[in-house]
Amino acid sequence: MTAPPETETTADVCVVGGGPAGLTLALLLLRSGLRVTVVEKSASLDREYRGEILQPGGLALLDQLGVLAPAEARGGHRLDRFQLVERGRALLDIDYTRLPGPYPRLLSLPQQHVLAELQSRCEEFEDFRLLAGCRVTALVEKDGAVRGAVAEGRGGRHTVRAAATVGADGRFSKVRRLAGIPANRDDVFDFDVLWFKLPGTGVPGRAVRVFRDGGRPVLAYPSYPDTVQLGWTLPHRGYAGLAQRGLAYVQEEIRRAVPEYADAVGERITALTDLTLLDVFAGRAREWVRDGLVLIGDAAHTHSPLGAQGINLAIQDAALLHPVLVAAVRAGDVTAGRLRAYAEPRGRDIDQVMRIQTMQARAMLSQGRVARVVRPRLASLVQHTPIGAKLTARIAFGNPAAQVRSELFTPAPQPPP
């Protein structure tokens, strides 16, 4: 039997993970004149995604990269509000059009559209290489530092040697595991989520909503082209017991939670496999940097879906790491000490996000008589006080220091006359 081919390439940066964090960072680095190889385990972009909501801060960064307009042109829904609805009454109604521009809105945009545009822009550079359908099996190490990665896939075995390696490969990061970096799991949330999509009911709404009409709370928002993405919450680690009660029970509970979609529930949820379980927890790698290695996105910090923070945090991670990594590679000093210029301030940002999400979960999703009494008061506090306005701005914009540092970009090569 012929052995699979082996290849070896050299790059300035090897990015493992072709999601929003990895491809955003790759594009920033390429535009700064660095050679980048991205390793992605999926062979194509034709796969299932859940995170679709972009906040104003994420929209700004994608626009600065020239990606937002073509991604939105592929199809999406502009949304104006975030609402907490309890028994038909909007306890909380955050109007995004009142936020400062240029992006006073939310955008429900299929993640596939964003990734396709990011990848397309990366492919314009000769110094970009994408190893799709390849799984990382080892890290290249030299003198105690990470100097690349080994990946295997349909095309054989690939060794990528690089000055820096970035783990952007999600909440169950293989890079993190290969580096021997432990991750703390904190079960501060008392819910998990079953995601599913149903046909839209006419003109798409313009709000992200949390319903508390009956039964367990439900997250809902319009999803392109003509569906509604719903996330039915259930007790944390309670899926096994729920599944034992059978499909009919689950259908009835979801109907009770979102009666306006009752007919569609029976038509579209015909097996438990039509539902996708999200195990909700707060996670954090104990180290984000080592010599030659950085973790970003969910590989470094994992969040709940509340507040639609996931994609936005990932994109901002890339923007904040970009100047630090460019300077480190150019100086030939990709040590942990140098990379902490990213990790330490970003860690403080993430601490704040974790606190806000824990508060959101307790305020919006908690059950019981006390919660029902307290919830309207908390909602009023957020809606009508400077404290609430500050929280809303933080959720919407993230860290204002996360900007595209275009002064680091090198001139684009000009075509021959």
DSSP class of 78: E
DSSP class of 41: S
Closest CA to 364 of 349, 350, 378, 381: 378
pTM: 0.93
Taken as a whole, the chain contains a residue count of 417
Q: Tell me, what's the pLDDT at 371?
A: 63
DSSP 3-state of 233? strand
Class for domain 191-278, per CATH? alpha beta
Mean pLDDT (10-residue bins), the chain, 417 residues: 75 97 98 98 83 94 97 96 87 91 94 96 97 97 97 92 98 97 89 92 81 86 92 93 94 90 91 94 95 98 88 97 98 98 97 87 70 72 81 92 96 60
Q: Is 356 exposed, middle or buried (0-12, 13-18, 19+ CB in 10 A)?
A: middle
**Domain limits of the chain?**
6-75+111-186+283-403, 191-278
DSSP class of 415: P
Residue 19 CA to its chain's centroid (Å)? 8
In whole angstroms, give the CA distance from residue 163 to residue 336: 13
Q: Tell me, what's the pLDDT at 372?
A: 67
DSSP 3-state of 77? strand
Residue given tokens 């701005």 in the structure block: 393
Q: Tell me, what's the pLDDT at 400?
A: 92
Q: Tell me, what's the pLDDT at 1?
A: 46
Closest CA to 320 of 404, 395, 407: 404
Conformational region of residue 297, where left means phi above 0, alpha means psi within -120 to 50, and beta covers everything else: left
Phi–psi pair at 402, nearest 5 degrees: -80, 95
DSSP secondary structure string for all residues of 23-40: HHHHHHHHHTT--EEEEE
Both tokens assigned to 390:
């500050």
In whole angstroms, give the CA distance from residue 96 to residue 262: 29
DSSP 3-state of 211? strand
Strands 191-199 and 227-235, sheet pairing? antiparallel
Closest CA to 95 of 59, 51, 56, 52: 56
Q: Which helix (H) or strand (E) holds 387?
A: helix 386-397
Class for domain 6-75+111-186+283-403, per CATH? alpha beta
